[in-house]
Structure 1
């Protein structure tokens, strides 16, 4: 939070609009969230193993 306040104060000193600053921060956070979602989705795909193709031994039942 301190870092964001520091960046915001620097942005105001350099006459960068607050709306543009908010847009950039929102875009970065959205980008990070989407990358995390893709990574979690890919990880879940790797864990789903189809065991139905293996034969079942009738004597075991």
Structure 2
């Protein structure tokens, strides 16, 4: 498997983590979300946001 395909799969998994946490938080099932899932989703969110923020700030 090429590195490009592995990267795409990782980004799709990261987006899934973030989406699952957001959907459950919005649906008032915040207690259902394991603390580790919150940490992983926050880490992926920082990873996703780092590129646009860096480009915006120059």
- What TM-score bracket applies, with the shorter chain setting the length? 0.3 to 0.5
Higher normalized helix content (fraction of residues): 2
Larger Rg belongs to? 1
